[in-house]
Amino acid sequence: MTAGDSFDRRRFMLAAGVASVVGSQGHRMAQATAPVAAPSGVANKASGEATFGRVRGARMRSLLPVPMRDSVHLSTTVFLPEAAGRYPAVLIRTPYGRLGQLDGWQEWTAAGYALVVQDVRGRHDSEGEFQPFVQEAHDTPDTIAWIRQQDWSDGRVGMAGPSYLCWSQTMGVARGDGPVPDILIPTFAPCDAWPRGFVSHGALSLFLTFWWYCFDTSSRVNNGIFKSMFDIGEVMRRLPLETLDESAGGGVSEAWREHMAHPTRDDYWKPFDLSGGFDRFTMPTLQIGGWYDYYPAEQFKTWNGLIVAAKTPQIARGHRIIIGPWGHNHGLEPTTDGRVAVDFGADGKFYARRLYRAWFDRQLKGIAPADGLGDRPIRIFVMGINKWRDEDEWPLARTQYTNLYLQSSGHANTQRGDGVLQAAAVPAESSSDRYDYDPDKPMPTRGGNHSIGPWDDSYKRLIWCGPCDQSINEGRQDMLVYTGAPLESDLEVTGPVTVRLWASSSAPDTDFVARLIDVHPDDRAINITEGVVRARFRSGDWARPQLIPPGEALEYTIDLQVTSNVFLTGHRIRLEITSSSFPLWDRNLNTGEHPNRSTNMAVARQTVFHDAARPSRLILPVIP
């Protein structure tokens, strides 16, 4: 073990019933080379009827030390059906504590599966040093190899899990150098952490990155309990951002500082992009995501990438994707005022284990599920009409991309302004709209499409994902609001949503945020999807940022992800334009300095143009 580890390896090995103790280690995963051939010493001891205790209707071993290729042991819990025999295994690998992933063990064992839940390297009861993401390229294959050598295993292994648990699956396939699972269920995660992940089109995903690095993975165990002791909103306003690790009470964090040192897409980010390994996904793969999560657009990119890279039509047919009206691995729950902003009905509920079981039963047992999966490659929940629908391609072939142009008489500020959305082309000359963006008074995040919550009560009043009435924010002068006329018939929008914004700024760097809104007849302004662009990355070249000429009108492309929503008769389509959503994204300080090391702020004077030469517009994927 490393010198700083307080983990007692001998106690762990003895508690697991393993007599031999291997020497300690402290090197990084990059130093591991040869795949494990046959970890028989632990494998034999860990198998067999006598080594498993009896629990209700099953057998269980709670602390198995599974060996990796470099003799590091990962703590693993295994549940087996009560009857002796060989079973397919469900493998879940987590950095958040395996004991939190044991719900449903009775369902799995009763259905004839072995459930294997493991702490990843360097976390909780597992040995080693935690090297996020990259270590799973070796440890996932080694764990699969170990399972297949057990006398309770029939050789088939499937993996499931959301977020980082998804990365432990996909990293093991795309970058692994050993055995791969027979089926996958990667859920609520991207294949690339830059476009939507720790970064969103150049803007730092501040809250996500902060709590993940500075609390939940800052030590061997989750330190999330400490969040309730801080005024998190006040802490995240502190500058420079690179010192937030100290503000969180944990001292200097090497992982956080390294992350803060790379605000552009340099070599540091290469391991976070798995798209080069899509051809290795030869097993049936079911992606699950949510319209109000951070990652549905990236998941569709992954699905399309898997289809293109598939070496045979049979492999391509094995890849499925389901996107529902959900947040990050959860259904929508009451917002900060205790109310549910939108009711998607009984069909919109999220039942993770039901989907997991259906996929495992279909792929490993040939059992056709009663519901949930569908028979076509894509299943989407169409919000507004609140119905599931199956499709064959993405974007949909019948999509009609439709422009709605921004227009005003120069006073689009707030929902009481004169900003409108119209299908007609803009006139040759038109007034522009202006607002001041002050990073010391940022627009607060209110709901949205991201991966934060509802995991911890300490920030439920600060940030929450999902639909939420935006009317409070729309009363601010630093918000431009453009609203269409009441619809005379239902209008379905399904696919990628984009804003082409002509704008100038007095600053050398700034942000522009766009949000698509469904305005209900009772004037509730419900967010559908959103996006941000950092001006220095306006060209899409994230490796070579370019500051902007102050005062020069430039066209910005703002990616608002993807959605599926029917704007019902009598509803209105609205577009919000502003320059921040804090603390979802970090505040652009408008100086052009290093975003994570600067403490200087400046107010930016923003101008949005909408004339014939500079036609700012919302581009909707309309489905006839």
Residue 302: band (very low, low, confident or very high) from pLDDT cuts 50, 70, 90: very high
Of 70, 139, 216, 293, the active-site residue reads 293
Residue 455: band (very low, low, confident or very high) from pLDDT cuts 50, 70, 90: low
Give yes or no: 163 in active site: yes
DSSP type of residue 119: E
Residue 332: band (very low, low, confident or very high) from pLDDT cuts 50, 70, 90: confident
Integer angstrom CA distances of residue 337 from 227, 305, 327, 520, 524:
21, 41, 18, 19, 14
pLDDT > 70 fraction of the chain, expressed in percent and rounded: 89
Give the chain's mean pLDDT. Answer: 89
| Nearest residue to 354 (alpha-carbon basis) of 288, 437, 259 | 288
Residue 454: band (very low, low, confident or very high) from pLDDT cuts 50, 70, 90: low
Burial of 247 (0-12, 13-18, 19+ CB in 10 A): middle
Does residue 36 have a pLDDT over 70?
no
Q: Which residues contact 75 (CB under 8 A, 6 or more apart)?
A: 12, 63, 64, 65, 66, 98, 118, 119, 124, 125, 126
Most confident among 268-282, 454-468, 473-487 (mean pLDDT) = 473-487
Does residue 40 have a pLDDT over 60?
no
Q: Cα–Cα distance between 140 and 67 in angstroms, integer?
A: 11
Give me the pLDDT at residue 18, please.
38
Does residue 93 have a pLDDT over 60?
yes
In this structure, of 102-116, 225-239, 301-315, the range with the lowest mean pLDDT score is 225-239
In this structure, of 98-107, 479-488, 497-506, the range with the lowest mean pLDDT score is 98-107
Does residue 20 have a pLDDT over 70?
no
Residue 338: band (very low, low, confident or very high) from pLDDT cuts 50, 70, 90: low
Does residue 322 have a pLDDT over 90?
yes
Of 163, 205, 458, 580, the active-site residue reads 163
Does residue 273 have a pLDDT over 70?
yes
**Are the CB atoms for 568 and 487 separated by under 8 Å?**
yes
User: For the chain, what is the total number of helices (H) and then of strands (E)?
Assistant: 12, 24
| 413-430 average pLDDT score | 91
Q: Cα–Cα distance between 533 and 577 in angstroms, integer?
A: 11
Name the residue with tokens 């980082």.
164
pLDDT > 90 fraction of the chain, expressed in percent and rounded: 76
Give yes or no: 279 in active site: no
Give yes or no: 126 in active site: no
Does residue 308 have a pLDDT over 60?
yes
Does residue 399 have a pLDDT over 60?
yes
Give me the pLDDT at residue 426, please.
80
| 359-382 average pLDDT score | 88
**Kind and range of the H or E element at 292?**
none
Between these two residues, 379 and 23, which has the higher pLDDT value? Answer: 379
* Per-residue pLDDT reduced to its tens digit, 568-587: 999 999 999 999 999 999 99
Domains located in the chain, CATH noted: 1-181 (3.40.50.1820), 199-268 (no CATH), 400-623 (2.60.120.260)
Does residue 42 have a pLDDT over 60?
no
Q: How far is CA 200 from the centre of its chain?
A: 11
Its sign, for the CA torsion 349, 352, 355, 357, is negative
| 296-317 average pLDDT score | 97
Does residue 10 have a pLDDT over 70?
no
| 441-469 average pLDDT score | 85
* Per-residue pLDDT reduced to its tens digit, 70-89: 999 999 999 999 999 999 99
Does residue 15 have a pLDDT over 60?
no
Burial of 198 (0-12, 13-18, 19+ CB in 10 A): middle
Q: Cα–Cα distance between 236 and 218 in angstroms, integer?
A: 17
Burial 376-395 (b: 16+ CB within 10 A, else e): ebbbbbbbbebeeeebeebb
Query: How many CB atoms neighbour CB 400 within 10 A?
Result: 11
Give me the pLDDT at residue 14, please.
39
Give me the pLDDT at residue 250, please.
85
Preceding amide of 240 cis, omega within 30: yes
Q: Cα–Cα distance between 604 and 508 in angstroms, integer?
A: 9
* DSSP bridge partners of 499: 558, 618
Does residue 187 have a pLDDT over 60?
yes
Q: Cα–Cα distance between 64 and 45 in angstroms, integer?
A: 9
* DSSP bridge partners of 505: 606
| Nearest residue to 141 (alpha-carbon basis) of 176, 167, 184 | 176
Of 259, 328, 330, 450, the active-site residue reads 328
**Kind and range of the H or E element at 499?**
strand 491-505
What the block records as the tokens of 45 is: 């001891």
* Per-residue pLDDT reduced to its tens digit, 43-57: 434 444 447 898 998
Residue 218: band (very low, low, confident or very high) from pLDDT cuts 50, 70, 90: confident
In this structure, of 393-407, 422-436, 535-549, the range with the lowest mean pLDDT score is 422-436
| 220-243 average pLDDT score | 87
| Nearest residue to 583 (alpha-carbon basis) of 402, 458, 492 | 458
In this structure, of 229-238, 470-479, 509-518, 550-559, the range with the lowest mean pLDDT score is 229-238
Beta-strand relationship, 58-67 and 53-55: antiparallel
Q: Cα–Cα distance between 399 and 622 in angstroms, integer?
A: 6
Give me the pLDDT at residue 522, please.
96
Give me the pLDDT at residue 409, please.
95
Q: Cα–Cα distance between 15 and 552 in angstroms, integer?
A: 68
Residue 370: band (very low, low, confident or very high) from pLDDT cuts 50, 70, 90: low
Give me the pLDDT at residue 457, please.
67
Give me the pLDDT at residue 315, please.
97
**Are the CB atoms for 454 and 333 separated by under 8 Å?**
yes
